Structure 1
Amino acid sequence: MTHETPQNPPLAAALILLATVFIAGTTLLAKSLGTDVLGPPLHALQISQGRFVFAFIGISAAVVVLRQKIHKPHWGLHIGRSTFGWGGVTLMFASVAFIPLADATAISFLNPVIGMMLAIPFLGEKVGPWRWLAAAIALMGAMILLRPTPESFQPAALLALGAALAMGAELIFIKKLAGGEPPVQILWVNNLIGMVIASCAALAVWQMPTAAQWGALAALGALMACAQACFVNAMARADASFVAPFAYGTLVFAAIYDAVIFGVVPDWVTTLGAGIILSGAGLLAWRESVNGKRPTVTERLPRPETER
């Protein structure tokens, strides 16, 4: 007998907003770890490893408490999903050490647009003029945030763009996995594989963290695990088309954290570029709701790390 979670849109919105607080917090911690705030800067590969290790510990505890059985995961799809997810997280963490959190977060919101484009050759999906318009708008916003002039170009913004590409590719695997396995199992397997990949990649650059950095790494993993839990529970209580706009709160909280902690106030270029990207992503989500489609848990939501 299948258990249906009662629909509760207000609770779903609150859970998504809470998830955005946590996700923006992970980028703040990544920036602190990648700079000299808490000690000698850690490499993005090591920060990514800490994110997966501590998130895996937290989700494993949830698996034990919930008595979730891990039953025949599709290892091929999981490995593909986790590889791109790890790549997206690592590139995102690398970018925030050099550019404002708001810029990196806004560029990462391109991932549903990238996922839409990749769905054409890999999933055989058809894309109409409205969705192409949404993609063009979002890409224009990304070009603005790259600040493509000799005086203002931000090379590190290309890292955030790479993160969006990797996360967009991850969406293809997520769509194939959706509905085939329990959400908790998907999260557990994803973090297990991500932990293995991240640990192997971090071997060459690993250094002993300071006590403060150990605490930040543990907090980063815990925040990500909490964000994923809020996300999954929110999507069980409302349609993705309703929840999607609330997920853009990540950009707001990232900008607030950057201003309060690092004194970085978004300038007009950041505001303009982010606004255009959000307009494109919002148009894409609106067209999906008009078409009467129900997107998968993460297919149409912006994914700044994260879940990555």
Structure 2
Amino acid sequence: MYQARVQNNALAAGLIGVATAFLAACTLMAKTLGGDTFGAPLPALQISHGRFLFAFVAVGTAALVLRPVLARPHWGLHVARTACGWGGITLIFAAVAFIPLADATAISFLNPVFAMMLAIPLLGERVGPIRWFAAVMALVGAAVLLRPTPESFQPAALLALAAAMVMGVELIFIKKLARRENPFQILLFNNLIGLCIATLAVLPVWQPPTAAQWGILAGIGFCMALAQACFVNAMARADASFVAPFSYGTLIFAALYDLAFFGVVPDAVSVVGAAIIIAGAVLLALREARQKPQPPRPTTAV
């Protein structure tokens, strides 16, 4: 049954902080699999398959232990949402093989901007001048990170931009699902359907991973499941408008991981571009919270 959680902003902020560390760790491990450190580089499709495989193992095990009450799912919305999520994560995993983690992470933060734009035709929402200004700010930051000059242009950054677009569509479906179903149920079906899609997609390119690569694939899946669990529990304990800004901590962890494991120091262009994107995204989140305040929804903790 649904069970409301006691509001606790400090705990929610801490949970989001842990979630961002796990999310950044997922992209870090995907980057190592895209190189030849632990064997022949794995295709992005195979990395995303591992993410859904092991995340489903974790979430499915939690479901067996917790035995949550499941309502009748809206299969159409679940499939559409998961297809977009699978596409977005696959594109991100492909991008981080070629560009810094921090750059790919920052560009991926454009997904709420694309979701805002899509909400106009798909959800009938109105967008005022401040929200448009926030969206333009974030897009300018993305243009900075793309480094659009012949000498410095990063084609792989377009993969991260495409991922943000696809994940923006995913947010539209998540909004629709959130009005109908328990977050744990959404999480469970997301990983189940994602595993089915990823399995079909990986068949043409699958190659035998080394033992180390299997371990890293498992790490990606379990870290993603833990990040999702932390996020769901944080959303159950605080308003979305309070939680959202803390999610940008992913960028900090991505930059730290990049420095620690690959010796990549963010240059001035990366810092400026990421700052503009985050400023625009935070402004957009705050404006939407003021326009459409939402009480925290009851949920089941993972």
> By the TM > 0.5 criterion, same fold?
yes
TM-score (norm 1): 0.94
Name the amino acid aligned to 1:37: T
How do residues 248-259 of structure 1 correspond to structure 2 at under 5 angstroms?
A: 248-259=248-259
Aligned to 2:101: 101
Distance 1:219 1:162 in 2: 25
Which moves more between the two structures, 176-185 or 134-143?
176-185
Aligned to 2:9: 9
Aligned to 2:136: 136
Q: Secondary structure at the match of 1:236?
A: helix
Distance 1:103 1:81 in 2: 25
Task: Report the Cα offset of residue 101 of structure 1.
Answer: 0.2
Q: Give CA deviations for 1:221-253 in whole Å, capped at 9, x if unaligned.
A: 000000000000000000011111111100000
Matched, 1:263 2:260: no
Name the amino acid aligned to 1:207: Q
Determine if contact 1:178/1:296 at 8 Å carries over to the other structure: no
Distance 1:124-1:295 versus aligned 2 partners, 3 A rule: farther
Aligned to 1:223: 223
Distance 1:138-1:42 versus aligned 2 partners, 3 A rule: same
Task: Report the Cα offset of residue 292 of structure 1.
Answer: 5.0
TM-score (norm 2): 0.96
Determine if contact 1:288/1:294 at 8 Å carries over to the other structure: no
Determine if contact 2:238/2:296 at 8 Å carries over to the other structure: no
CA root-mean-square deviation: 1.3
Distance 1:109 1:185 in 2: 25
Q: Secondary structure at the match of 1:65?
A: helix
- Listed as ranges, the gaps of 5+ residues in structure 2 are 298-302
Distance 2:270 2:236 in 1: 33
Determine if contact 1:109/1:164 at 8 Å carries over to the other structure: yes
Q: Secondary structure at the match of 1:248?
A: helix
Aligned to 2:124: 124
Name the amino acid aligned to 2:88: G
Distance 2:48 2:220 in 1: 9
Q: Secondary structure at the match of 1:93?
A: helix
Task: Report the Cα offset of residue 179 of structure 1.
Answer: 3.2
Which moves more between the two structures, 174-183 or 204-213?
174-183
Matched, 1:76 2:40: no
- Listed as ranges, the gaps of 5+ residues in structure 1 are 298-308
Aligned to 1:151: 151
Determine if contact 1:175/1:296 at 8 Å carries over to the other structure: no
Aligned to 2:208: 208
Overall identity of the aligned pairs, in %? 66
